[in-house]
Structure 1
Amino acid sequence: MLLAHIRNSDFAEQSVQTHLEDVSLIARQYGNSVDLGAHAELAGFLHDMGKFTQHFTTYLKNAVFKQEVTGKKIDHSTAGAKYLYDNYYDTNTLQNYVVETIGMAILSHHSGLQNFVQLDFKPSDYLRRVTNEELPHYDEVVQNFESIKGNVEKVKALIEEATNEFREFMGKIKPLAKPIVYLNLMQKLVFSCLVDADRTNTRCFEENEEYNNNVSKSETVFKNGYNELMAQVTEWEQQQVTPINQLRNELSGKCDQFAGKSSAIYTLTIPTGGGKTFASLRYALKHAQSHHKSRIIYVVPYTTILEQNAEAVRNIIKQPEAVLEHHANVIDDDNLDDEMDYYRINNHKQLQLGRDNWDYPIIFTTMVQFLDAFFQKGTRKSRRLHNLTNSVIVFDEVQSVPYQHTELFNTAVNFLHTAGNSSIVLCTATQPAVDKMDLPVVLDDNTEMVPNLNETVEAFRRVSFHNKVEREGWDTEQIGDFVKQLIQKLDSVLIILNTKTAAKKLYECLAEQKDAYVVHLSTSMCPAHRKEKLTAIKRKLGDEKVICISTQLIEAGVDISFASVIRSLAGLDSIAQAAGRCNRNKEVEIGDVYLIRAKDERLSKLPEIRIGGEVTENYILSDSQYADHLLSPETIKTYFTHFHEQAKREILKTPKGLDYELLELLDGSFSSKKQPQTKSTGMFKTIERYFEAISSPTTGVLVPFGEGKDIIARLNENIKDPVLFNRLMKQVQQYSVNLYDHELHTLSSENLITPLFNGTIYCLNDKAYNKQYGVTLEGKAALDNYTF
């Protein structure tokens, strides 16, 4: 028997044929929801065809039984793609697209997607491999594969079915601008189905368990969750509620009505404090039931929003295990390029990689993770892409999409709705004109969930803005003096600054304030630390004076209310979010929001914040028709018009080291410079090489805060229980911080960071984590006797 895998625990064997059949069935389920079932099934059926050799079986046994993974690597990923090309590439254009789509998925399923077109127009990765006349053992592979009854007939039938699927797909995307973009995304979607099916089947075999599709579980979660939510609504309606809570209930009711409508891309424009999370969840739970969606996904800009909103949803639906928080990748990306790499890595990493696919009913993740699923390199992030289809996706604070990626984001949204059968909600208090951009989100008429926006904004008015922006700006001492004046007459003040350095400096200036609880918040703290700080703040608000100094992490999604807010000059969208933390529940008639310029901020490396502040100052605050109505839809529209005009002039969309925008590599305009040798023009490998969701990538690092210390200790042990390991890896999300490369380098040079699991996880020691600031590069922190 020719083998695909040998189980580590008991040395059970999985044949190549069994693995191919099992993977193809799982992939078929993934692809069916978007009418690409035959594409996905055929990719699964041929992906490991190259293992049909005695040489590979011997190689595998040596790796498992003798721990010998030596000699020349065996290419088992090319044979299936070459087999399709040799037998089915002909004059039929549609069929050739199918052969290329499935072949690319197969030959890329360990290394990550390759190119159909190269930057230098030399023969592409795809073409070189499928036309390789000297592929080792290829004749043996074909003979062994075709000798199994039914294999040849199955491939032929699936090719015909997939060709019909492709024809239907092209009909769906034909009305969209730049349809080649969506063809390329479809090819990545097929790749995602294959990679996830392969990893899932491998994990199931290794753990000796049956594959379980969670769709039925999701249906139960949505039904029970909606019932719990409506019970809460009924309770609120029966109680004596405040006018602002009545407004929130009315808005959530509008979202409930929209849930019965067909799948579409909707906008949900609710003023800050209007209950966006509750209203959008009401829509999502009901719509997911009515239209048989597989999952609900919230995409947020900041981890703080993720943490709080996920907790709020758990409390509403009363099913905590149904909600996944996915902040960042704490375990390094896999990028396996050979089957034997799987046997080289730690077994626990194998199990974690096998589960890392967003297969949960309700998921909270970040915009970075969303964009990475479409455009980042490797296989680990790409495998999640198919789980974004047939879903309800809520983009919270959609105005926070990085400017240089707005067109890529828009294409991803259009694709998920048009080809991916997903319902999209673009949710914010300050709605950008996504349908007016160069490559717009395609919105139908009447897709705004909230009618009469002007009246709604006025009904939610709870603050008055005071412009104290001066040309020279205020230094730390001047801001501190102003805070001290305010706290003498108020119970609480929130100060939001644009940089961590400025926030830390102001905290140090105010930390010794005797008559108030002074607290600092930043992304240098792990989620559990921030949550503990926020809990302490909420507990003290109303009982004692509170001064909170924070970066913009507190602006969106954090349900907290201060008597007054001071906001350093920024974009109008950020100012609106800051205002949402003032007088949130209308504790008084009108709260005060002060706009200042912080002199100590350095914004040269934060162009969007800088441009946003300049546009706010030059076009909004300087014009009384807007300055007196900062949160009106007309003012916000004017702000975004000027912001995009200035950003277009000043923010490059061309990645460093590349002479083209990524969209040019995606939409076929680059490949049109020379006639490509394939029908497909995707440049996946090049795009993934240059794509960065944020300009400075980060790495998740485990920190010694609270239970994080225990998790670090446990991960230093030889854990053999996969259930325990995966539980620990889920907990890691709450005790990790994302660090820039230069921060990692500094910590490493001071011996303040330690690798675990052969360098796949990193953790900080106690000296690098401070109870006030979180991660500190000086190495002088101590968490002993941690108290608030």
Structure 2
Amino acid sequence: MIAHMRKSDLKIQTVQEHLESVASLAKEYGKKAGFAAMAELAGFLHDAGKNAKAFSTYIDNAVKETGEPLERIDHSTAGAKYLYERYYAESPKTQADMMSNLVIEMIGMVILSHHSGLQNFMQPDGSQSDFFRRVCREDLPYYEEVCTEFLSIRGNEERVEELYQASVKEMQSFSTHLRQLLQNYPNRSKDEKTSPFIFNSLAMKYIFSCLIDADRTDSRRFDEGDTSDLHESNQDFFEESYGHVMEQVRKWESDLDASKPINKLRTEMSEQCDKTAEFPSFIYQLSIPTGGGKTYASLRYALKHAKLKEKDRIIYVVPFTTILEQNADAVREIINNKNKVLEHHANVIDDVASEDEPDYYRQEAQKKMQLARDNWDHPIIFTTMVQFLDTFYAKGTRKARRLHNLTNAVIVFDEVQSAPIKHLPLFNSAVNFLHHFGGSSIILCTATQPSLTKTAYPLLMDGSKEIVKELPDVVKAFERVSIESKVENEGWTAEQICDFTMEEMEDKESVLIILNTKKAVLNAYQQLKEIPGYTVYHLSTSMCPQHRKDILEEVRKKLKLPNEKVICVSTQLIEAGVDISFECVIRSLAGLDSIAQAAGRCNRHGEHEKGKVYIIRAKDEELSRLPEIELGQKVTEEDVLSRGELAEDLLSPAAIQTYFDFYLKKAEREIKMTDKNLDVGLIELLDRSRKYLDVIPRDHPKTFMSSMYKTLESHFEVIEAPTTAILVPYGEGKELINNLNEDIRDYDKLNDYLKKAQQYSVNVYRHTLQALASEGLIVSLYNDSIYALKDSGYHDEYGLEMKGEGGLSQLLF
């Protein structure tokens, strides 16, 4: 029977060949988390439904384009149905029966979902489970022929039995480990929940990932005639790269400035990371203060730990694309290797494609470019929090494919406090699974550690796993600013902000103003730029990254010149990952973590004895659509600034801890944590939700698995209002627009264009995209897969705008 036929030479891959190859690959992927047999069994049965003459005829007609009618055949149910009929106990009475049923449910769901994405074991309306609906189907076409053909091959029946028995043992081992884990981390309060059902759900998603990657990989390799080694070790690369890091460390230690207290402290923290790398994998906190060199220190840990503990890869997860690109470039430079570092973030061509990929994804150039991003089979990866969470919870099969490559890894979460508050239970659960079952070492890296162990569905970690020793003393030693609150109930107008800035500029040469909204930034900027004698700059996300980089580079040059009076007005985009230093910072009231980040842009390198940071309240900020910023303001004001001992030292670990303790508790009450179309949190769709159990009719059979992945994925968005990237006509962006308007078949050229396009794109919300289109300011490029802005839609000073006449009233904010 035919599984695949290669179009180039009509060579056939039989169903048996495909099943054996996928099973072998899935086993390799699955063993990292202790699910080798379950993944192998899923692989061995996933396409058993192709064992029918009708399917072979379908493949033959489709590939040869005979013109015969094509009969679509359900080939993904048969393997799950076979397992169910052979092993499932309809009335389980013993613990062994229950464990067996759990195995069949998990593997069966993985098999029947491998072309669609995971389905539901329970339904929101109480209707029949997707699992029972599929495996109990009596009219499944060709099912008897499929079973007869599959079992006629010598050894298949015995192999299924052997893998089934091994799978039950794996599930027993997993359940024992899980029970011990939950006993070690008992619920500390009624608000802190841990549930075995969530871990079962994530284990199933892991096995699903193993099958998806194995199936797609084997299909691709057959189609391309690829027989190369799939399991190349990265250990030599990690050792070589660690050597490059240590060469750089020795250069720093011999530098003339090495003896300065601040540099000695940086070196000491870097050495602590190096020493920690020798210990077993844990969930660690790395609370290096802003300016303490956390990128290099974390890399030193990651490379040494990956080398010593034979980890497969190192993954950096960052909140913003700007940080991603900057840190990836820094790592490439220090390890002296450009090809081993993969950047994966939202592309100009959005890789959230449907499972039935459009033509441009089928092109050879796109397939090659997409492969590394699909499975993350790379030694060092930089990606975003959006991509990380999508791996576990996004719709379909493409992003799930890479999940198994997050196990046996070193994962560094940079600026972990930026994890979306609404999805902390999902984030914590994913990290718990990756560490406690996937063997990954986790580094939570930030100057402002959130209280992730004190939330609903908490992070299961030992609270003493802080890499930086004597943290309060370290923070004090890095103190380069004093912070003063000038928060008033009424708030300051743009004119008052301008007046205060002028007062500060009387004895200072530079001031950075950070406000919470683009509108407030624009208002203050317009006030300040009218005053002669000052160089004033504007920064916001209405400008493409290259535009912002150009402005920042100009600002840096101006800051170095004597007798220059420099003012920069920016949104919070300047707070993270931007190496720039002002004499004074004025920050509109926000969360304490944002204020700490803003303080990191003041006197950053100790140029002055002490920099000055002022906290104000800007009057013209509308925050009703920014609930997390609004709550951050409230907690900072009510729970930190109001406490005298904390207000006097806002950057202390005690102040940060207090802020996050209150913020996370209040967020659960004041920010809508459930989806707008559901009245339960998304995490409960992976738990054994009482709400949905209660609506199942008594005469309907119930599964042991309770996850509702299909429902979760249909509602899951890391960013509630998703954005679309638009290529803009700024600088080289104009040439890129022209180039991408042509038919491109050269892979290297296309890859180069798309990488560059990241720097010349602006992300807009759906309603903004529609407004731009209605104004006739949008054109489509490259098979209608890329949007570009016409010249009249971009302003050299402000960025994106609606009208081409420079009409500020039409700016999009």
User: Which residue in the other structure is 2:128 paired with?
Assistant: 123
1:641, CA displacement in angstroms?
2.4
Counterparts of 1:612-627 in structure 2, within 5 Å, are 612-627=632-647
Counterparts of 1:189-338 in structure 2, within 5 Å, are 189-213=206-230, 215-216=232-233, 218-241=234-257, 242-329=260-347, 330-336=349-355
C-alpha distance 138-770 of structure 1, shift in aligned 2 (>3 A): farther
Counterparts of 1:668-687 in structure 2, within 5 Å, are 668-670=688-690, 671-673=692-694, 677-687=702-712
C-alpha distance 687-70 of structure 1, shift in aligned 2 (>3 A): farther
Asked if the contact 2:493–2:620 (Cα under 8 Å) also holds between the matched residues in 1, the reply is yes
SS, match of residue 256 in structure 2: coil
Larger mean Cα displacement after TM superposition, 390-399 or 566-575? 390-399
Larger mean Cα displacement after TM superposition, 701-710 or 225-234? 701-710
1:577, CA displacement in angstroms?
0.7
TM-score, normalised with respect to structure 2: 0.90
C-alpha distance 113-771 of structure 1, shift in aligned 2 (>3 A): farther
SS, match of residue 426 in structure 1: strand
For 1:678, give the aligned amino acid.
T
Counterparts of 1:384-395 in structure 2, within 5 Å, are 384-395=402-413
SS, match of residue 33 in structure 2: coil
User: Which residue in the other structure is 2:189 paired with?
Assistant: none
1:408, CA displacement in angstroms?
1.7
Q: Does structure 1 residue 31 correspond to structure 2 residue 50? A: no
Choose which of 178, 185, 199 in structure 1 pairs with 2:202.
185
User: Which residue in the other structure is 1:609 paired with?
Assistant: 629
Query: What is the CA–CA distance in structure 1 between the aligned matches of 2:702 and 2:541, rounded to whole Å?
Result: 48
C-alpha distance 46-520 of structure 1, shift in aligned 2 (>3 A): farther
Larger mean Cα displacement after TM superposition, 545-554 or 630-639? 545-554
**Gaps spanning 5+ residues in structure 1: where?**
783-788
User: Which residue in the other structure is 1:169 paired with?
Assistant: 174
Asked if the contact 1:521–1:549 (Cα under 8 Å) also holds between the matched residues in 2, the reply is yes
Asked if the contact 1:30–1:37 (Cα under 8 Å) also holds between the matched residues in 2, the reply is yes
Q: Does structure 1 residue 688 correspond to structure 2 residue 687? A: no
Counterparts of 1:753-764 in structure 2, within 5 Å, are 753-756=778-781, 758-764=783-789
User: What is the total number of aligned residue pairs between the two structures?
Assistant: 777
For 1:324, give the aligned amino acid.
L
Asked if the contact 1:516–1:546 (Cα under 8 Å) also holds between the matched residues in 2, the reply is yes
C-alpha distance 710-25 of structure 1, shift in aligned 2 (>3 A): farther
Identity of aligned residues (%): 54
C-alpha distance after superposition, 1:175-219 (max 9, x if no partner): 223111111001011111111222223333344433543651x32
For 2:593, give the aligned amino acid.
D
C-alpha distance 67-361 of structure 1, shift in aligned 2 (>3 A): farther
Choose which of 396, 407, 414 in structure 2 pairs with 1:396.
414
1:715, CA displacement in angstroms?
4.2
User: Which residue in the other structure is 1:15 paired with?
Assistant: 14
For 2:45, give the aligned amino acid.
L
For 1:42, give the aligned amino acid.
L
Choose which of 598, 607, 611 in structure 1 pairs with 2:618.
598
Asked if the contact 2:743–2:782 (Cα under 8 Å) also holds between the matched residues in 1, the reply is no
Asked if the contact 1:701–1:738 (Cα under 8 Å) also holds between the matched residues in 2, the reply is yes
Query: What is the CA–CA distance in structure 2 between the aligned matches of 1:711 and 1:54, rounded to whole Å?
Result: 50
Q: Does structure 1 residue 587 correspond to structure 2 residue 600? A: no
Choose which of 95, 105, 110 in structure 2 pairs with 1:105.
110
User: Which residue in the other structure is 2:53 paired with?
Assistant: 54
1:440, CA displacement in angstroms?
1.7
Choose which of 356, 360, 384 in structure 1 pairs with 2:378.
360
Query: What is the CA–CA distance in structure 1 between the aligned matches of 2:341 and 2:585, rounded to whole Å?
Result: 32
Larger mean Cα displacement after TM superposition, 20-29 or 405-414? 20-29
User: Which residue in the other structure is 2:188 paired with?
Assistant: none
Counterparts of 1:618-697 in structure 2, within 5 Å, are 618-670=638-690, 671-673=692-694, 677-697=702-722
C-alpha distance 659-599 of structure 1, shift in aligned 2 (>3 A): same
Larger mean Cα displacement after TM superposition, 266-275 or 19-28? 19-28
C-alpha distance 72-268 of structure 1, shift in aligned 2 (>3 A): same
Counterparts of 1:196-595 in structure 2, within 5 Å, are 196-213=213-230, 215-216=232-233, 218-241=234-257, 242-329=260-347, 330-336=349-355, 346-348=362-364, 349-355=366-372, 356-444=374-462, 446-511=464-529, 515-543=533-561, 544-595=564-615
| Alignment RMSD | 2.6
C-alpha distance after superposition, 1:457-483 (max 9, x if no partner): 110110011222222222223323333
Q: Does structure 1 residue 96 correspond to structure 2 residue 115? A: no
SS, match of residue 407 in structure 1: helix
Q: Does structure 1 residue 133 correspond to structure 2 residue 132? A: no
Query: What is the CA–CA distance in structure 2 between the aligned matches of 1:745 and 1:70, rounded to whole Å?
Result: 40
Query: What is the CA–CA distance in structure 1 between the aligned matches of 2:552 and 2:536, rounded to whole Å?
Result: 12
User: Which residue in the other structure is 1:786 paired with?
Assistant: none
Asked if the contact 1:98–1:163 (Cα under 8 Å) also holds between the matched residues in 2, the reply is yes
C-alpha distance 521-254 of structure 1, shift in aligned 2 (>3 A): same
C-alpha distance 520-310 of structure 1, shift in aligned 2 (>3 A): farther
Query: What is the CA–CA distance in structure 2 between the aligned matches of 1:44 and 1:701, rounded to whole Å?
Result: 40
Choose which of 722, 727, 752 in structure 1 pairs with 2:777.
752
Query: What is the CA–CA distance in structure 1 between the aligned matches of 2:48 and 2:750, rounded to whole Å?
Result: 32
1:714, CA displacement in angstroms?
4.5
User: Which residue in the other structure is 1:2 paired with?
Assistant: 2
C-alpha distance after superposition, 1:503-529 (max 9, x if no partner): 233334444565444333333344444
C-alpha distance after superposition, 1:533-586 (max 9, x if no partner): 433333433125433222212212222222211111101111001101111111
Query: What is the CA–CA distance in structure 2 between the aligned matches of 1:535 and 1:359, rounded to whole Å?
Result: 35
Larger mean Cα displacement after TM superposition, 82-91 or 650-659? 82-91
C-alpha distance after superposition, 1:363-406 (max 9, x if no partner): 12222221121122121222222121111111112222222222
1:731, CA displacement in angstroms?
4.7
Larger mean Cα displacement after TM superposition, 504-513 or 129-138? 504-513
Asked if the contact 1:522–1:553 (Cα under 8 Å) also holds between the matched residues in 2, the reply is yes
1:607, CA displacement in angstroms?
1.0
C-alpha distance 756-130 of structure 1, shift in aligned 2 (>3 A): farther
Q: Does structure 1 residue 145 correspond to structure 2 residue 163? A: no
Asked if the contact 1:117–1:124 (Cα under 8 Å) also holds between the matched residues in 2, the reply is yes
1:105, CA displacement in angstroms?
1.4
1:115, CA displacement in angstroms?
0.5
1:603, CA displacement in angstroms?
0.4
Query: What is the CA–CA distance in structure 2 between the aligned matches of 1:345 and 1:410, rounded to whole Å?
Result: 33
Q: Does structure 1 residue 740 correspond to structure 2 residue 761? A: no
Asked if the contact 1:301–1:367 (Cα under 8 Å) also holds between the matched residues in 2, the reply is yes
Query: What is the CA–CA distance in structure 2 between the aligned matches of 1:704 and 1:203, rounded to whole Å?
Result: 38
TM-score, normalised with respect to structure 1: 0.92
1:30, CA displacement in angstroms?
1.5
C-alpha distance 494-343 of structure 1, shift in aligned 2 (>3 A): closer
1:712, CA displacement in angstroms?
4.4
Larger mean Cα displacement after TM superposition, 285-294 or 13-22? 13-22
**Gaps spanning 5+ residues in structure 2: where?**
183-193, 808-813
For 1:37, give the aligned amino acid.
A
C-alpha distance 605-89 of structure 1, shift in aligned 2 (>3 A): same
Asked if the contact 2:122–2:693 (Cα under 8 Å) also holds between the matched residues in 1, the reply is no
User: Which residue in the other structure is 1:785 paired with?
Assistant: none
SS, match of residue 224 in structure 1: helix
Asked if the contact 2:454–2:661 (Cα under 8 Å) also holds between the matched residues in 1, the reply is no
Query: What is the CA–CA distance in structure 1 between the aligned matches of 2:323 and 2:276, rounded to whole Å?
Result: 24
Query: What is the CA–CA distance in structure 1 between the aligned matches of 2:733 and 2:84, rounded to whole Å?
Result: 51
Larger mean Cα displacement after TM superposition, 65-74 or 446-455? 65-74
1:612, CA displacement in angstroms?
0.9
Asked if the contact 1:491–1:542 (Cα under 8 Å) also holds between the matched residues in 2, the reply is no
Query: What is the CA–CA distance in structure 1 between the aligned matches of 2:19 and 2:326, rounded to whole Å?
Result: 42
